[in-house]
Chain A
């Protein structure tokens, strides 16, 4: 097989300090958006731990949900929620760019596509809430 492209060892790489993302507000926001995935994953791992308690019996499950009322866990979920909301908004914004919507010849403006995403998000959230309340007991 022939090698395609230049030898990576011979390419010039500009040295970047590890703190490059602190030098500009938009780089910082980019890093926050990337970090949102960490908090979303952490939340889901905690949620999975809660679901696992069901295999230990209903008392273990209730004890776990009561443990989550401590200030530390409330703070954790508050931070996770802020990151999750930031992910949702930035995801819908980029979806409006990546998946432009057209009606006939006319392109629908990005703000309308964003508004449609937000509306769909609210509807989905209400459906999850209603299903949770209907099925929980």
Chain B
């Protein structure tokens, strides 16, 4: 119980930071990745992903909204009547975001 209480500000801070990143940056990236390149409005060879600060930016862009998702989805599932398994949901949601962080870091270091 004590650890849950001290962890709360951390999760909330990551939720909030992820919400800001998602609000300001995600729509333009969906337009670029989902429409502009596939529909041929512009070309993309992936060359820009070899620039170190672009990778750092992508790490922030991808990872922070994952924590935003984890926090929101955890509380949404609780509100939808799954409170009985709330401990398991916490592990799946926040654990999922932590795994996502590690996978993102691994991929960005690998390319």
Contacts and interface: CB of A to CB of B under 8 A. Distances in A.
A136 B48 contact: yes
Interface string B78-108: 0111000000000000000000100110011
A43 B26 contact: yes
Most B CB within 10 A of own CB, among A17, A37, A52, A133: A37
Interface string B52-88: 0010001001100110110011011001110000000
Contacts of A40: 22, 26, 65, 68-69
A127 to B, nearest CB: 9
Number of chain A interface residues as a range: 35 or more
Most B CB within 10 A of own CB, among A48, A69, A78: A48
Interface residues of B, number: 52
Given A65-B44, A74-B39, A121-B23, 10 more contacts: A37-B22, A43-B33, A44-B26, A61-B45, A66-B38, A74-B38, A85-B27, A88-B23, A88-B27, A124-B24
Interface of B: 2, 19-20, 22-35, 37-40, 42-49, 51, 54, 58, 61-62, 65-66, 68-69, 72-73, 75-76, 79-81, 100, 103-104, 107-108, 110-111
26 contacts: A34-B76, A43-B30, A44-B26, A52-B111, A55-B110, A62-B45, A66-B38, A73-B34, A73-B38, A74-B35, A74-B38, A78-B34, A84-B22, A84-B26, A87-B19, A91-B19, A121-B23, A124-B24, A125-B25, A129-B28, A135-B47, A135-B48, A135-B54, A136-B44, A136-B48, A137-B47
